[in-house]
Structures are given as structure tokens and as C-alpha cells.
């Protein structure tokens, strides 16, 4: 096994906590016990209070567009302490929480203090995903 294959395998192992499929805010709000199934077969529950908070940030027509959990992408290519958020609605939510101007960029780069703020506000509706390529 070469070095790249080894790294890919290790990254895959780091990401077993991720959901097989992400649900929309709309579907999760309708569930009595909002949850998804992870790649490792375990169940991942969302706090209703966070889902309600997200519903206050977005319009009802945006509920089916927000897929949860929001992925905070971590990659060495981004630089130390830098993460990335992709998706129009996901960026809107994160920008609102961070009180940042909404940019037309394809992705939103965030830094360690901002990531901490997001994870404190949305501990169950955000997750880290580890990547080894993709750069900025």
C-alpha cells in the first residue's frame, strides 16, 4: 500500500462518524426524535432546540434546502486552523451565526475561533469531515 492509499484509508476511518445520508431541516423538524444513521451504523440525534434555532434563521421555503448536519470541512491544504463550509444555505446559516457578510463565493472559509463559536452554538447540527485534498 502506497502512502496516498494509506492516508485515504486513515481519513475514511476518521470519518466513520458521518451520516450515511443527511436529512433536511424540514424532515428533522417533523420527527419526534430527529436523527440520522451514521456510516458505522450508530444513530446520531439532533437537539430539537438547535433545529428550532435554525428554523428561526431561515425562511420556511429554505427548510427543505438545508441538509443536516452542516459539514465543517477540515483539510491540511486549507492551512492550520482553517475550515471550509460549502452550500448556499449552509453558508447563510454560518454567516448569520458569525455575523459575517454573506459573500457570493462558492465556499466560506472559517478560522479556529469561529469554528469554536459555531460548534458551541450548534453542537449536534454540525460535524467535522476530514479531507486530504481539495485545497481552497
- pLDDT beyond 80 at 133: no
Confidence of residue 26 (pLDDT cuts 50, 70, 90): very high
This prediction has a pTM of: 0.87
Per the prediction, the chain carries an average pLDDT of 90
Q: Is 8 exposed, middle or buried (0-12, 13-18, 19+ CB in 10 A)?
A: middle
Q: What is the pLDDT of residue 136?
A: 41
Q: What is the pLDDT of residue 16?
A: 78
Quote the DSSP letter at residue 38: B
Quote the DSSP letter at residue 69: S
Q: What is the pLDDT of residue 6?
A: 78
Higher pLDDT, 16 or 91: 91
Quick check: 79 and 109 in contact, CB under 8 A? Answer: no
- pLDDT beyond 70 at 47: yes
Q: For the chain, give every domain's residue range.
A: 3-130
Q: What is the mean pLDDT of residues 70-76?
A: 92
The residues, ordered by sequence, that sit 6+ positions from 14 with a Cβ below 8 Å of its Cβ are 130
Quick check: 48 and 106 in contact, CB under 8 A? Answer: no
Q: What is the pLDDT of residues 74-112, one digit of tens each?
A: 988 888 999 999 999 999 999 999 999 877 778 999 999
Cell numbers found for residue 94: 454560518
Amino acid at each position: 500500500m502506497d502512502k496516498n492509499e494509506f492516508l485515504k484509508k486513515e481519513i475514511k476511518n476518521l470519518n466513520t462518524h458521518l451520516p450515511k445520508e443527511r436529512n433536511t431541516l424540514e424532515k428533522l423538524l417533523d420527527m419526534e426524535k430527529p436523527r440520522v444513521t451514521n456510516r458505522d451504523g450508530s444513530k446520531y440525534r439532533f437537539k430539537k432546540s438547535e433545529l428550532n434555532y435554525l428554523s428561526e434563521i431561515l425562511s420556511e421555503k429554505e427548510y427543505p434546502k438545508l441538509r443536516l448536519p452542516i459539514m465543517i470541512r477540515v483539510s491540511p491544504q486549507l492551512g492550520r486552523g482553517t475550515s471550509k463550509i460549502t452550500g448556499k444555505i449552509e453558508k447563510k446559516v454560518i454567516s448569520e451565526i458569525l455575523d459575517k457578510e454573506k459573500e457570493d463565493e462558492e465556499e466560506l472559509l472559517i478560522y479556529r475561533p469561529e469554528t469554536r463559536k459555531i460548534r458551541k452554538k450548534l453542537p449536534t447540527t454540525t460535524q467535522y469531515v476530514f479531507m486530504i485534498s481539495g485545497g481552497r
